Structure 1
Amino acid sequence: MKFIKKTLKILVLIIVLVVVGVWLYSLTYHPKYDGELEIKNLSEEVTVYFDEIGVPHINAQNQKDAYVALGYVHAQDRLWQMELIRRIASGRLSEMFGKDLLKTDVFFAGLGIEEAAEKTIANLDTNSEAYLLTQSYLDGINQYINDGKTPLEFTLLGLEKENYTIKDVYNVFGYMAFSFAVAHKTDPLLTEIKEKLGDAYFNELMTTDLGDLTINKYETKEIKGQMSAAVSKLMDKLPVSTFIGSNSWVLAPEKTKKGKVIFANDPHIGFSQPSVWYQNHIKTPDFEIYGFNIALMPFPLLGHNTEYAYGLTMLANDDLNFYIEENNPENSNQYKTVEGFKDYTFIDKTISIKDEKDTTFQVKVSKHGPIMNGIISHLEDDRPIAMNWMYTQLKNEQLDVSFEMSHAKSLTNFKNAVAKIHAPGLNVMYGDAKGNVAWFASAKLYQLRDSLSSKIYLDGASGEDEITEYVPFDENPQAINPAWNYVYSANNQPDSVRGKLYPGYYQPQDRAKRITQLLDAKNDFTKEDVAKMMFDVKSSTVSEIAADLIKNIDQTNLSASEKKAISILESWDGNYLKTSVAATIYNRFLYEVLANTYKDELGDSFELFINSQLQDQALPIQINRANSIWWDDIKTPNKTENRQEIITNSFKSSFEFLENQLGKNVDDWFWKRVISVEHEHAIGKAGGLLRTFFNVGPFETVGGNEVINNQIFKLDSTGIYKITAGPSTRRVIDFSDIENSLAILPTGQSGNVFSDHYKDQAQKFVDGEFVDMKLNEVQIKRSENVLILKPKK
């Protein structure tokens, strides 16, 4: 007994010592939000006021000092995030996490982002203000690296800190550009469908209404979708956020109660911890911006001041094509062109792997870009497939673009800045204190020869499939002060270019339709109305889709409970509330319909297809096709299924699944029981105590796919919907009360787990609440935490 008591006392003592040790460690390693620090390369003292959510308000006498300060405070809150994101494009994640990330490293290192960065940097104007302020920002980061505390993550992984250069900035630009792209997930899959299943299957997926079909059955080939699936898996493995979609709308004075512009924007990005954006406010005698910065980007992609506001959504234009090259039969190091055979360029790469030997590989590059066969393992295609990506092919002015957007003096200045965007394509939104509203589809749009689809592999040898012309920016879709008094974007199809809808990977109309329904309904919007609208969870389309599905169910032999489920679905208004039962029924029913329609032909690529915009676009048309080649189950060769059979069987399977999952009482099938959101940290993904310590959540939430409060999840066989992406911030900027505009982050301002601001916004975000974005100097100077940065002598 005495032994047990003694052992318990020792255990208690150990636990106390551990708790005290962690507490003391946290006191030492949290960011410094007050007091004084000496910083090199400052000409004058800089005062940083940290408000109640940890946003630094940087008051400096000149911009150079301000950007040194920004780099320092950004690094003390987000150095771990900076380290993660800078390593992606250069293929250096394996150094941190080991061989599990090797395929991802090989892929990104082979895309040509680093080579494009080196070429761009060699031609930069080193006397430009954009370049000089970027160097000041990097100087601030590096001073923190050299003099500040090492983040816990570095210690846990045994990482050595390294200084940052402007090449790291361009590597982040490159990663961001690639994560916006969609073609790498869709074009290879569509090419396989066309080549292996035939034109009928392909044409229906491209939403071509072929009318009543009587098609002779023929043997189909297995669709593996290797490149699409491989790239999708590589992107899923990334320990940082990927860029997905977004909403934005800007109301002209005629649409608002107080007669001033109201600006709204919520870019949709993969959820992670820390959050994507770092809020900051810089003020000097000649400059002011309240910005949202991505790690290692000195100039904000989202921002506002008293004069104007700007933001973005993903344009989703097609800026990435695949070309099939033709090797010289006498020399595999050459490929065919209209000018004759040309030599491939070969680039040697080395990947360092934690606790393993380095590995080397070679990237083969044609004039169209890197050959994907060499950088995606197990790609079973004998044809050399080159990736032609506009980001690496054309002049890169992204640093100037972000600088000029944040330093614009007029709408004309701003338009001239966004006209320089080449890739990724962005819908850039604008509103100002003078009453102007504007939307610009900003990208280098191009023309191919007539009838050539950019969504399948192109011929690299003939010369007939090359880009014929780049469209002048003034011909891009755009609107300035339109007669309907608002502009908006929800990644939907933009207006025509030269009389034709421009090809891309646009999201279905759901969010765009709901936004315009709400905006058209009134002309007296307030800031509070817009904030409420950003949390709207009503779908503009699911009720109609559900009705189309229900009318194709044979209800003859359904049970009373099954008929009750149908009745609930019939009366659904499309709201994704926590207590919605219809949302639960609909999403399982949708999965079963898609599985029974497409899985037999698509095989392993089915999961990729059903979570793509391609499927979202095709769905409403497919349901209303009485006859379709996709309705037939090819696994039953002696029987031909029809639409009613597929949909009826899908409903019965859905009902049986939900009974087993959630119980016999249909009324208890609440949406909140199957959906949740958790913000995962790269180390927290390991689970256990690390998950509890680093991750934020899980939370119950409202919302679903393609509602304004877009809570993005993957449909799959599990019936559990783990939200992977959504609004990366919500911003409402009201020019009638510009000093108290609203914003929220999904977790918090800091990426330092010991900071009070690591997750202090998380519950507010889930609940649809906001915090103020302060511009009022008097309010800002009341901040409890003030950090003085003094020039180091």
Structure 2
Amino acid sequence: MSKRHWYWWIPLALVFASALGTVGLILWIAKRAEPIYSGTLELAGLSRPVEVRFGPHAVPTLVASDLEDLIFAQGYVTAAERMWQMDLLRRLGGGRLAELFGQDAVAVDRFFRTLGLPLEARRALEALEASDRALLAAYAAGVNAYRERARHRLPLEYVIAGLEPAPWQPEDSLVIGAYMAWTQSFNMRAELTFLRLARRIGPERARLLFPTDAGLAPPEVPPELVAYLATTATGPSSRPGFDSAAIVPFIDLPAWPGLPPPTAASNAWLATGARTATGEALLANDPHLAFSMPGPWYELELIGPRLHVAGVSLPGVPLVLIGHNADLAWGITTAVADTQDLFIERPTPDGRAVEREGRTPEPIQVRYEAIQVRGTDPIEIAIRSTSRGVVLNDILGVRTATPMDLADPDLDALIVLRQNHDHPDQSFQAVRRLCQARTLDEARAAGLDFRHVVLNLMLAHHDGGIAWQMTGVLPQRGRGAGAFPNPGWNDDYAWRGEVPQALNPSLTDPPSGIIITANQRTIPPDHPLRVSNAWMSPHRAQRIAARIENAGPLTPESMAAIQADRISLQGRMMQSSLRRLEAEIRALDPGAWLLAERHVLDWDGDMDASSRPAAFAALLEPALFQALYGDELGEDLPYLLSLAIVAYNPLQETLRTGESAFWDDVTTPEPETPAAIWARALRKAKTALDGYGAEVRLADLRRVRFTHAFDRLPLLGDLFSVGPIGVGGSSDTVDVIKTEPQAPGKGLFGASMRVVATPADWRRTRGTLTLGQSGHRFSPYRSDQLEDWLVVRSHPWPWNGPDDAHTLGRLQLDPLDASERVER
């Protein structure tokens, strides 16, 4: 090196040293925020010591001699791993994100303030028994003990954002529960979409796009609504030549701020001892939620007075939501029940009241709330309501590219939402009673305390028995089925109260020895109780049933193998549909038929990550949606497609029957045949496939990303989020990867955890999370379960703690001052 140029290396060395120093500082800040797994901590708020033993994957077993101390410790240990996630969840559901993130979060806060989740949480807290309120207070005290101890060593996210967590309140846990219950409600979005499509193509034609289930047509549209819509202006005209490239994702996940949005999906099945190799009952469960970083569950075991339970909890909520005690195991799936109705309200000319046929107009009620906004003055919002429900107009059509976006039908009327919230929720009481239940009947009764969320509660007992109980409260409607909006001015359509929960469907020890719930229709079509107007596809349930019948006597291993199944019955229906039209497609477009033979017809329906035909099938679905419906729905097609992941859709019914009222392309002079539409879709799918390059496989286009709240920020997104990762699976496979049809490459939802429970010997119960226990960026337990999740492996759930050989650490939590211990 020339001596004349040596000095040029000085600034480069300084830059390099500065970069190293910055990286080192970030790593030091992040690592010092991580929890300790061994040692002793003294915490104000404890009355007696609590032992925490950490096993593989940093899964804790908490042992206490006092129940409130046990729940205090759960709050502390969970917050030590997940404080940032817990903070965002309570603020999201409580409409308080703008306090942290400023003006960008106001629209999201307005959404949840309008829906009233904070009010519901306060009502629920006031209605709880004193003992349950005490448990929530103990959990809050544990979280706050962590907050106080971590004041100068907060998680990295708080340091970057210049924030700190506010004190935890007991109602915060109920806000999180209310938010998760809201994610399991869907009909509001479907009814808004119907209104938008009805204004474009008319209500009777739009109705055809909302089948109830395979072979079940939707209910009739209220005639008063048909008459009303006939008097309104038509919606946007369809654009001729509308191209599939314009079918953008309706929900552009990662959903800001990287937290779980609504989705209807989960699998669970039960087997009595008569169907298993050992005579024991078995339970398999894999609830499906959005991919997020951290994942939605925290695994742990709790041992205390009148309580011994293991499983997964929602960070921010005490006890265990899915798991088992010494006597029985329970899992949950979404029942896809219709507990939401929209009412069209006609306002009076002065806008202060709404019309009522045959009586005086009803005044509109208004409540005011203030949204605190970081960096600026609070924003006051007015939330209107009538006796039919809360007015949604102020949150319709707001584009945030998140699941909080609702279609605006652009009507000169008020759109009012009614939900099954007439009485306070009792979900926390339900969880506590489940954790302490001894019999199937006790557990079923506990499940009915889930009032605001309708779930399939699946139960397996150590004596070999199984049971299913549908939870929640269903509305007692007047006229109308609730599938489509009701005329609010007509009192005949008003709700009449609640259906008695004694009528909720349930089943114990069926003769078949098997119970399956996978969001499919679980009751016969002629059942006297209307549970849903839009079940999900029966495909996952049918595939589970087929695997069970072919498995012989069931074992935990064969149950887990079913969870890995990726056979798509929708893909096989595509093949059947094509074969029905072979002669017509060959005659009309031989090249298109050659594509079918080459890419579809020899395929086994396996949506394996390495499959090339699976990649073509993934692209054929949106091409079929476009070819069938794009000409009439135009720019509104994405609204229909956004419902395809939460309900049985018209394309699935067309694939099943070969029939559709939409075969013809209305933008061309000659009527199209099914063969023409199929040929068009096949060629469109091939063009899309070619865009990915030669030898493309499903994993090359279908990817998942576990999104963090910082995901949309430059550099920070890639630092904190995990992925993208190529995967197999589809929206209708048992090992599910849900995608919107118009965005087949973006996995939105999947198994958020998996478990196979073995009531005869709890030590053989196994499960896995998507990522890991920790939310800390550089923790070794942040994503140590990811590889197991991808290949559907699992690890033993703790029962009576880890043995010495598998103990990661022992942490003793002691009262801060032994002389001030309070005897309870």
Q: TM-score under structure 1 normalisation?
A: 0.92
Matches within 5 A, 1:777-788: 777=801, 779=803, 782-788=806-812
What code does the residue aligned with 1:566 have? E
1:129-149, CA deviations, whole angstroms, 9 ceiling, x for partnerless residues? x22111111110011112223
Q: Provide, for residues 303-327 of structure 1, a one-character-per-residue CA deviation record: whole Å limited to 9, x for no partner.
A: 1133111110001100010111232
| Equivalent residue in structure 2 for 1:701, among 713, 724, 727 | 727
> Which digits, 9 at most, give the CA deviation of each residue in 1:685-716, with x for residues without a partner?
3242x233211222222212111110112222
1:714 alignment partner in structure 2? 740
Does the Cα contact within 8 Å between 2:256 and 2:709 map onto a contact in 1? no
> Matched residues in 2 for 1:223 and 1:122: separation?
51
Q: Note the 1:321-336 alignment, pairs <5 A.
A: 321-329=341-349, 332-333=352-353, 336=356
TM-superposed deviation, 1:790: 0.7
Alpha-carbon spacing, 1:548–1:627, altered in 2? closer, same or farther (3 Å): closer
What does 1:384-399 correspond to in 2, within 5 Å? 384-390=414-420, 392-399=421-428
Using the alignment, how far apart are the partners of 1:194 and 1:453 within structure 2?
Answer: 17
- Give the deviation of 1:495 after TM superposition: 0.7
Quote the residue 2:483 is aligned against. 455
Which amino acid in structure 1 is aligned with residue 158 of structure 2? F
**Conserved 8 A contact 2:249-2:638:** no
1:381 aligns with 2:411: yes
Question: Do the aligned partners of residues 724 and 662 (structure 1) sit closer, same or farther apart at CA in structure 2, a change above 3 Å counting?
Answer: same
1:429 aligned to which of 442, 458, 462: 458
The one-letter code sitting in structure 2 at the alignment partner of 1:491 is N
Q: Is the 8 A contact 2:85 2:294 kept in 1?
A: yes
Conserved 8 A contact 2:596-2:682: no
Structure 2 distance, partners of 1:143, 1:628, is: 61
Residue 618 (1) aligns with residue 664 (2): no
For the pair 1:239 / 2:263, whether they are aligned, the reply is: no
Letter in 2 for 1:388: R
In 1, distance between residues paired with 2:458 and 2:556?
17
CA separation in 2, counterparts of 1:259 and 1:704? 34
Matches within 5 A, 1:31-180: 31-126=35-130, 128=131, 130-148=132-150, 149-180=153-184
Using a 3 Å threshold, how does the CA distance of structure 1 residues 444 and 232 change in structure 2: closer, same or farther?
A: farther
Cα distance in structure 2, aligned partners of 1:660 and 1:477: 49
Could you say which residue in structure 1 is the equivalent of 2:492? 464
Structure 2 CA distance for aligned equivalents of residues 626 and 220 of structure 1: 30
Aligned counterparts of 2:517 and 2:16: Cα–Cα separation in 1: 58
1:519 aligned residue = 548
What is aligned with 1:505? 534
Larger deviation, residues 579-588 vs 354-363: 354-363
2:225 corresponds in structure 1 to: none
Which one of 781, 786, 794 corresponds to residue 762 of structure 1? 786
Residues 348/183 of structure 1: CA separation in 2 closer, same or farther (3 Å cut): same
- Percent identity, aligned pairs only, is 23
User: Could you say if the C-alpha distance between residues 785 and 547 of structure 1 is closer, same or farther in structure 2, counting changes exceeding 3 Å?
Assistant: same
Which residue number in structure 1 is paired with residue 223 of structure 2? none
Look up the match of 2:222. none
Aligned pairs (5 A) from 1:337-486: 340-376=360-396, 379=408, 380-390=410-420, 392-449=421-478, 452-468=480-496, 470-486=498-514
Alpha-carbon distance between aligned partners in 2 of 1:723 and 1:508, rounded to the nearest angstrom:
18
Structure 2 residue matching 1:487: 3-state secondary structure: strand
Gaps of 5+ in 1: 211-217
Change (3 A) 1:566 1:684: same
Q: Deviations over 1:486-520 (max 9, x none)?
A: 21110011214743653333210110100111122
Preserved CA contact (<8 Å) 1:134 1:298? yes
Unpaired segments ≥5 residues, structure 2: 218-229, 239-247, 399-407, 818-824
- Kindly provide the amino acid, as one letter, of the partner of residue 347 in structure 1: R
Deviations 1:92-145 (A, max 9, x none): 22333333332222111111222233333333332x2x2211111111001111
Matches within 5 A, 1:603-682: 603-613=634-644, 616-623=648-655, 628-636=660-668, 638-663=669-694, 668-682=695-709
Distance 2:441 2:578 in 1: 49
1:743 aligns to what SS in structure 2?
strand
Contact 2:665 2:672 in 1 (8 A): yes
Alignment partner of 2:759 out of 727, 735, 739: 735
Counterpart in 1 of 2:243? none
SS at match of 2:108: helix
The alpha-carbon distance between structure 1 residues 235 and 181, as it changes in their structure 2 partners (threshold 3 A), is: farther
Match of 2:774 in 1: 750
Q: Deviations over 1:433-454 (max 9, x none)?
A: 111101111121234346x231
Could you tell me how far 1:265 is from its partner in structure 2? Answer: 0.5
Number of equivalences = 770
Contact in 1 for aligned 2:610/2:728 (Cα 8 Å)? no
Give the alignment partner of residue 615 of structure 2, picking from 568, 573, 584.
584
CA contact (8 A) 1:733 1:741 kept: yes
* C-alpha distance in 2 between matches for 1:220 and 1:209: 29
Structure 1 residue 260, shift from structure 2 partner:
0.7
1:672 partner amino acid:
A
Distance 1:733 1:624 in 2: 35
Give the superposition deviation at 1:562.
6.4
Letter matched to residue 534 of structure 2: Y
Quick check: 1:37–1:788 contact (8 Å CA) kept in 2? yes
Alignment-mate amino acid for residue 284 of structure 1:
G
Distance 2:250 2:618 in 1: 26
Could you tell me which amino acid in structure 2 is paired with residue 701 of structure 1?
A: V
Pair 1:566–1:26, CA change in 2 (3 A)? same
Residue 492 of structure 2 aligns with an amino acid whose one-letter code is E
TM-score norm. by structure 2 comes to 0.88
Matched to 2:430, the amino acid is V
Letter in 1 for 2:415: I
For residues 242-321 of structure 1, what are the structure 2 equivalents within 5 Å? 242-244=261-263, 245-321=265-341
Q: Assess, with a 3 A threshold, how the Cα gap between structure 1 residues 536 and 660 changes in structure 2: closer, same or farther.
A: same
What is the distance in 2 between the residues matched to 1:659 and 1:189? Answer: 33
Partner of 1:215: none
Match of 1:214 in 2: none
